Amino acid sequence: LWIQAMRRDDRTLEQKSLMRLYELGFFTRPVLSQNRWLLENLPENAIFITNGDLDTYPGLMLQQEEQLRVDVALVNASLLNMPWYIEDMAKRHALPMPMTYDEMMEYNPYMDDEGEIILLSQVVMKSWMKDEKHGRPFTASVTCGEHVLKVFEPDKILKGSYFAAAPSPGKLLDPDAVKSAIKHLDGSLYAGELYTESDKSAVRRATKPGFTAKVPFNTALLFAEYCMDNDMKAEAKSTI
**Mean of the per-residue pLDDT values for the chain?**
92
pLDDT tens track for 94-133: 999 999 999 999 999 999 988 999 999 999 999 999 887 8
pLDDT tens track for 139-162: 999 999 999 999 998 889 999 999
Cβ count within 10 A of residue 231: 8
* Whether 93 contacts 48, CB under 8 Å: no
Name the burial class of residue 230, with classes exposed (0-12), middle (13-18) and buried (19+) by CB atoms within 10 angstroms of its CB.
Answer: exposed
pLDDT tens track for 52-104: 999 999 999 999 999 999 999 999 999 999 999 999 999 999 999 999 999 99
User: 173: which DSSP letter?
Assistant: B
CA atoms lying within 13 Å on the CB side of residue 190:
17
Distance, in Å, from the CA atom of 43 to the CA atom of 165, rounded to the nearest integer, reads 13
Cβ count within 10 A of residue 89: 21
- pLDDT band for position 169 (cuts 50, 70, 90): low
Distance, in Å, from the CA atom of 206 to the CA atom of 112, rounded to the nearest integer, reads 37
What length is written for the chain? 240
- Predicted TM-score of the model (pTM): 0.93
pLDDT tens track for 12-21: 999 999 999 9
Query: pLDDT value at position 76?
Result: 98
Distance, in Å, from the CA atom of 154 to the CA atom of 151, rounded to the nearest integer, reads 9
pLDDT tens track for 178-213: 999 998 888 899 988 888 988 888 988 888 888 888
CA distances from 120 to 5, 102, 154, 173, 213 (A): 23, 13, 20, 28, 31
Query: pLDDT value at position 68?
Result: 98
